[in-house]
Amino acid sequence: MNPTILLILVLFVGVEISFTSVIWANVIIIAISVLVMLRHRAPILSYVRLLLVPLIPAVGIWFSIRYFSTAQSVHFAWVMATRIYAYAFLGGLFTFSTTTEKTLASLEQNAHIPTTFVYGMLGAFNFVPKIRSEVKIIRASAQMRGIDLHFWSPRLLFKSIVAALNWSENLAEAMTSHGFTENAPRTHRTVIRIPWWNYVVTVISIVGLQAILFSPLK
């Protein structure tokens, strides 16, 4: 599916299940996400991660709602626990259906997000490995002087921002000197289109969700 359409659909579903409390809707969303992930041949480990990571928050909220809320409702406890899993699996569905580059390209061409934002983010994302090592360097060099920089230390953040300031200047200049003009119209080597069936899938999904949410299912 086209990443922009899929993103809109996933966000819509995510917001709607936040405002409704139907366990079955959450479960069906999880099941559909698993099917989509299976189709995209997601590695087994990713299912394990999706099951384990939300486990602690889900169990935590289940106990809080079940024993410490005013109504102590078992139903609502399950709604909240499955909702957390539904969010996580919606994330998995999206992650395995597309890539960051494809999503940004589609946001530029289909959603018409200003190119300054799209290419600025794209440029910055390529810095991730450098950023990881910079954090390590800053902490290591502080440790050599016997100072432990914790994540809440203003100095660690300050030093990171100073590095970010330098990089952003350099990268912006480099991009400009390679011919990038802020928000100028661009031509594309790969034109991203939205196939007609994307709209069909979106409409069916949204109608189906309403059917479940407003059915006698709980």
Partner 1 sequence: MQQKAAHSNRWHLRDVILITITSIFMGIIFFVTGFLYNGLTLALTPLGMAPFANDILLGLWTMAGPLAAFMLQKVGAATIGELLASAVEAIIGGQWGPSTLISGFVQGFGSELGFTFTLYRRYDMASLSLSALTTAIVTFAWDLVRSGYAAYHPWMIVALFITRFISMWVFGALLVSAVTKLLDRSHLLDRRHA
Give the count of beta carbons closer than 10 Å to the beta carbon of residue 89: 23
Q: Does 67 bind partner 1 (CB under 8 A)?
A: yes
Query: Which residues 154-183 are close enough to bind partner 1 by CB under 8 A?
Result: 154-158, 160-165, 167-169, 171-172, 175-176, 180, 182
Q: Does 10 bind partner 1 (CB under 8 A)?
A: yes
Of 24, 27, 95, 102, the one binding partner 1 by CB under 8 A: 95
Q: Does 65 bind partner 1 (CB under 8 A)?
A: yes
CB of 200 to partner 1, least distance (A): 21
CB of 74 to partner 1, least distance (A): 12
Between 14 and 191, CB nearer to partner 1: 14
* Closest to 9 in 3D by CA, of 94, 124, 125: 94
Segment near partner 1 (CB under 8 A); pick from 24-32, 70-78, 200-208, 210-218:
70-78
Spell out the long-range contacts of 205-213 with Cβ–Cβ below 8 A and sequence spacing 24 or more: 205/9, 205/13, 206/9, 206/12, 206/13, 209/13, 209/16, 209/25, 212/22, 212/24, 212/25, 212/28, 213/16, 213/20, 213/22, 213/25
CB of 106 to partner 1, least distance (A): 14
Q: Does 195 bind partner 1 (CB under 8 A)?
A: no
Q: Does 93 bind partner 1 (CB under 8 A)?
A: yes
Q: Does 19 bind partner 1 (CB under 8 A)?
A: yes
CB of 91 to partner 1, least distance (A): 2
Instruction: Report helix, strand or coil for 145.
Output: coil
Of 31, 35, 51, 56, the one binding partner 1 by CB under 8 A: 56
How far is Cα 76 from Cα 69, in angstroms, rounded to an integer?
10
Instruction: Report helix, strand or coil for 146.
Output: coil
Tokens of 98: 């597309």
Q: Does 31 bind partner 1 (CB under 8 A)?
A: no
Q: Distance between terminal CA atoms of the chain? A: 30
Report how many residues bind partner 1 under the rule CB under 8 A.
Answer: 74
